Amino acid sequence: MNDAMNVLIVEDEILLAMDIEAIVEDSGHSVLSEAAGLKDVEDLPDDIDPQLAFVDIHLTNGSNGLDVAKVIQKRWPDALIIFVTANVAKIPEDFSGAHGVIAKPFSHAGIKHALRYLANGVFDPPPSSPMPACLIPSPHLEQRWAIA
């Protein structure tokens, strides 16, 4: 795959993180790192450059994905941030600057379609493929790619 993204996974449930990692790699992308909470993300080296971050809302040590999204935006401003959570109602209207959400439980096919769509948008914006049903875009994604 020419359009392989570098992906950061922020998920505190190890089996779920491994599942997402397998889907990402099976889809031809690379997982740069996995993190279980805010401190793990803050401790990541500066030289990684994720194009996509899948971020859960409830994380270890009382940290949360909304704070993680702010750190990612500051350190890697071009990264797309997609929340992957069962707590969609906890996401504020402005998505804390994130680009969308995929609700848990998710399907493997749904994540694969989302990866294809997002990679298409990263490498050749706006995406020409249809938006997957599992992805709820935020206004930030709509602004970034001027999608209707």
Domain ranges of the chain: 6-145
Q: Of 51, 58, 45, 67, nearest to 11 (Cα)? A: 58
1 pLDDT exceeds 50? no
Instruction: Tell me the fold of 6-145.
Output: Rossmann fold (3.40.50)
Q: How confident is the model at residue 111 (pLDDT cuts 50, 70, 90)?
A: very high
Q: Please write the tens of the pLDDT for every residue from 6-62.
A: 999 999 999 999 999 999 999 999 999 999 999 999 999 989 999 999 999 999 999
Residue type, 114: A
Q: How confident is the model at residue 147 (pLDDT cuts 50, 70, 90)?
A: low
Query: Which tokens hold the place of 72?
Result: 């990612």
Q: Please write the tens of the pLDDT for every residue from 78-90.
A: 999 999 999 899 9
Sorted by sequence, the CB contacts under 8 Å of residue 79 that are 6+ apart come out as 8, 49, 50, 51, 52, 53, 72, 73
pTM of the full structure: 0.95
Q: Are 69 and 101 in contact (CB under 8 A)?
A: no
